[in-house]
Structure 1
Amino acid sequence: MAPDNWGHFHFPHPQAPNRTKNGGPMNTSELPFLSAGDLSRLIQSKEVSPVEVTEAYLDRITSLDHRFNSYLTVMREQALVDAQQAEEDIASGQHKGPMHGVPVAVKDQFWSRGVRSTGGSRILADFVPDEDATVIANLRKAGAVVLGKTNMTEFAITGFSHRYATPRNPWNTDSYTGGSSSGSGAATAAYLCATSLGEDTGGSIRFPATWCGLVGLRPSWGLVSRYGVMRGVWSMDTVGPISRTVEDAAITLGAIAGHDPKDRYSSRAPVPDYRQALGSDLNGLKIGVITEFMDS
C-alpha cells in the first residue's frame, strides 16, 4: 500500500479508486493506479482504450515528474500514435497479448530508433540510434506503448553519478531511488508508467526495486537479448522488469524474452507464459545455493 503523503506531496490513494460495475475506474485520472495486468484485461475487454490510458499517464508525467526526475525523454507524440494503433488493432480483433496497449517506460541505456539515447551521460546527449534495441522492438511487437526513456546513473555505474537531474524516491523525495535503473524505479513507484524495464549488472534492477517498494526481476543471463543495450560488463548485463506486482513482472518478461539472432548468447529455449506459475504450491520446490559464496 502506498502512503497517503509521498515526499510531502498529497496524491489520490492508489488502492481505492471508484469502480464501474465491470471493475474499471470511474475516472480516467485513476487509470494509472491500476496494475499492468488489470489494465491489460480492461483494454482487451474494450472497457478502456489504450489512448485514454496513455493520455492519463502522460498527463500524470506532465504534472508530477518535475518532483521525481524519473524521465529523461518523454515520447509523447510517438506514444499517442502507438496507442491509437493499438486501439485500432484491438477494435479489429487483432489483440496481441497481455502487453497490448499497456504503457511502459524504458531505461535510457537502450537504443531507441529516432530518439536520443544517452546512457545517462552528457557525452551521448545527442546520440540518436537508427534502430531499436531488441527489447524495445519486442515490446513494440507485443503492442506495448513506450512512454519514454528513464533516468539513470552515468553509463549504469551504480551510485549517485547522475549527469542530469537526480531521481527522487516517490515514497520520500528527500531519499534516493537506488540505481542504476533509478528512473525506472521512480516512474513505476510514482505511477508514471504501468511497468518498466531496467538493466542489472550488479544489482541495478534489484536496488531501485527494493528501495522503491517494487518487484524487480533480474532474469537468467541470456534469457533476454542485450542487443542495443549499452554495455557495462558483457558477461553480466541483464535486462528485466521493474513492476508493481509479480503478475506485471511476468507479463513484461514474457514480452521481452526470447532468442535473438543479433545476440549470439541469447537463449533458444521457448518462452512460456510466466503467469501460469503464479499461485503455484511451493511445497517440494528446490532452491540452488552456491555455498562458496556464503560465509563459513
Structure 2
Amino acid sequence: MKSIAVVTDSNCGMSMEQAKALGLYMLPMPFFMNGKEFLEEVDMNQEEFFSRLEADPTIKVSTSQPSVESITTLWDELLKDHDEIVHIPMSSGLSSSCQTASMLADDYEGRVRVVNNQRISGTLRYSAIEALQQAKNGMSAAEIGDWLEKVRFDSSIYITVATLKYLKQGGRITPAAAAIGTMLKLKPVLQIQGEKLDSFAKARTMAQAKKIMTQAVRDDIANRFGENINLDVIHSDNLAAAEEFRKEALETFPNLKEVNIFPLSLSVSCHIGPGSLAFTCSKVHEEIW
C-alpha cells in the first residue's frame, strides 16, 4: 500500500498542533495588515490579530495565497518519505490557491493530487480527515481526490457577521449595500455550498440569525444529509457566544454526541471581522469508517 501524505491549509480552522496530532500537514495562509504580510500561527495568533483590529479601527486587512516556494518546499520534503500527496486547499471559488497548486502539481509526475472540493473551515477539516481514512482504506491519491470531489456538496456553512465593514473592505458587498445594511442594523446570514459565498437571509438580531442558521441545518438534515452529521460552531473572537450557541445546538439536535467549537481562520476573518458566528455541517460518510 502506498504511503500518502494529506496536506491542507490553515483555513480549515485547526491549529498546527491539532493537525499534527491527526497526522495532517498544514500550510499557513498569508494575510496582510496595512500592507505587511503575516502567516497565520507563525507570525501572529488569534488574540494578537483581534487586539490589533480593536486598537486601530482604520487598519486595512487583506489576504493572499501561499507562495509557490512554500507549497513546493513542503511537497518536496514530504515526497522524500511518502509515495504520493493529497493536497486539499480552500475552495477554488474563494481563492486562487487551488488553481496555483493544480498548475504546480503538473510538474510532479502524478505524485501530487490537488483536490478542488470547494470547502473551507470545518467542512475542509473533515475532508482532510476523510482523506486520511481513505488512505488507510488503501485508496491512491488519485482515487482519494476523485472521491472527495464526488462528495464535495455533502456540506453546508451558514455564517452571520456582526459588522459589514470587512465585507465592504474586501469587495464582497458594495459600499451602498453596506451603508444601507448598517443603517438598518441588518445582520446578513451568508452560506457557502460549493464555490461561492452567497447571501442566504437577513436578520435584525443575532438571536434571529441563530434561529435562521439552526433551521437551515434542520432542513439539510431532513433533505440532504440525514441524522449522522458533523456539526461545528465557528466564531471570530466571539467565544462566549459560541459556547452558548453550542449549548443550544446540543439541545436542538439531541442525536449529536458532540458539537465542537473552532475559531474562524484569520485569513477568513480578514473578510468577516470580529463577532461572527457560524455553523459548519458535513455529512458523515459511514461507509468509509
**TM-score of the aligned structures, taking structure 2 as reference length:** 0.29
Structure with more contact order per residue of length (Cα contacts < 8 Å, sep ≥ 6)? 2
Structure holding more helix per residue: 2
